[in-house]
Amino acid sequence: MIHSANRGGASYRERSRWFWAAAFAGGLHVGITLYWALGGQALLWTMGADFIAKFESMLWILWPVALVKAVGAFGPAWLSTHGWHWARLTRFGVWLGSVVLIGWGGLNTIICNMVLFGLINPAGGFDRPAMIGHAWIWDPLFLIWGTSLLIGLIRTHATRASLS
């Protein structure tokens, strides 16, 4: 756990706000996932017709997806304000999650926008509503979520001795 001297100062609280920014972006993902799990339809078009057809009979899968997203969204914010229990393990998990979110969200945001602007032309065409959803909503949120986590980790970095 990070020593209270490192956690307690106003500057530490200010730096840990990045984890709350990540929680907000991740929380939006959690919220829409739960909304869809309950049968909501708003913004579902942004996932694409093929996705909707494939998963409409498997909406139950959204419950565990929402749970994983919730842990990834709110866990780091909670840990940053309550002490990093099992610091090496939990911080490593957040590092890994931030890299995955940045890679996935960043790459998909770039590629989907390149498709929308005609810089990439998929041979079989593409689902424009789904491409818009990924280019302008879901993947940028993943990118913001991951980047906020990464900045939070960097800004709250503690010395090796204080992570005991």
> Which of 1-5, 7-11, 62-66 shows the lowest mean pLDDT across its residues?
1-5
Query: Rounded to whole angstroms, how far apart are CA atoms 104 and 140?
Result: 10
| pLDDT score, position 88 | 87
pLDDT greater than 60 at residue 36: yes
Beta-carbon contacts of 138 under 8 Å, excluding residues fewer than 6 positions away, are 29, 46
Rounded mean pLDDT, 96-123: 97
Gap between the Cα atoms of 26 and 89, Å rounded? 21
Q: 75 CB contacts (<8 Å, ≥6 apart)?
A: 90, 94
Whole-number pLDDT of residue 87: 84
CA 34 to chain centre: 15
Q: What is the mean pLDDT of residues 60-74?
A: 96
Return the percentage of the chain with pLDDT > 70, whole number: 87
The rounded Cα 117 to chain-centroid distance in angstroms is 25
- What is the reported pLDDT for 156? 86
**Cβ partners under 8 Å of residue 145, min gap 6:** 22, 25, 26, 29, 73, 101, 105
Is the pLDDT confidence value at 51 over 90?
no
CB under 8 Å to 91, separation ≥6 — which residues? 84, 153, 163
Rounded Cα distance between 77 and 57, Å, is 34
> What pLDDT does residue 152 have?
94
Mean pLDDT of 34-61: 91
Percent residues over pLDDT 90 in the chain: 71
Average model confidence (pLDDT) across the chain: 88
